[in-house]
Amino acid sequence: MSATDPRIETHDAWVEFPIFDAKSRSLKKAFLGKAGGAIGRNNSNVVVVEALRDITMSLSLGDRVGLVGHNGAGKSTLLRLLSGIYEPTRGSASVVGRVAPVFDLGVGMDPEISGYENIIIRGLFLGQTRKQMAAKVDEIAEFTELGDYLAMPLRTYSTGMRVRWRWEWSPVSTRRSCCWMRASARWTPSF
């Protein structure tokens, strides 16, 4: 592996969220019982939710990681750390290359226009030019496996078809690392 190959690394990384002005310890306990984080205090003696503690990992080109856990376990927080959205409050996290965080797959969609038209709009939203998108639209259409349905408005798609369409953007991205949030039970084996 060369120094320029895409990779994401963390070393003893923590992500903590301070709780300011909480009125009582029982309120904090009730909140944290729902959130799943642990109560702690940072170096300034401020009460914090310890969302992630002591995370050390190294991901290289081609690595795939699946995160499984209950609500509030820290899955989304970890993905945000790995994509550079969150900075660690302790330890370190580094990204070599560009990461495409995909946390809201519905952004840039218009249910009243066709899948093809939405592909172009989505590409423009992701920073591509119309010319670049025209060159990629066939590849993207093939990736979705939606065939003739791409000529129909998105509002006519089933839930599974919408999931496929939402994931179509991956060939568009110029980034080599992706952090996807929220798995779906609606995927088909070929997808």
- Give percent of the chain with pLDDT exceeding 90: 14
Among 176, 152, 172, 177, residue whose Cα is nearest residue 162 = 152
What does the pLDDT look like over 148-171, one tens digit per residue?
999 998 888 887 788 777 766 555
pTM of the model: 0.57
pLDDT at position 69: 80
Q: What is the mean pLDDT of residues 45-62?
A: 87
Rounded CA-CA distance 145/161 in Å is 9
Residues ≥6 apart with Cβ < 8 Å to 16: 40, 42, 48, 49, 50, 51, 89, 90
Given a cut of 50, is residue 47 above it in pLDDT? yes
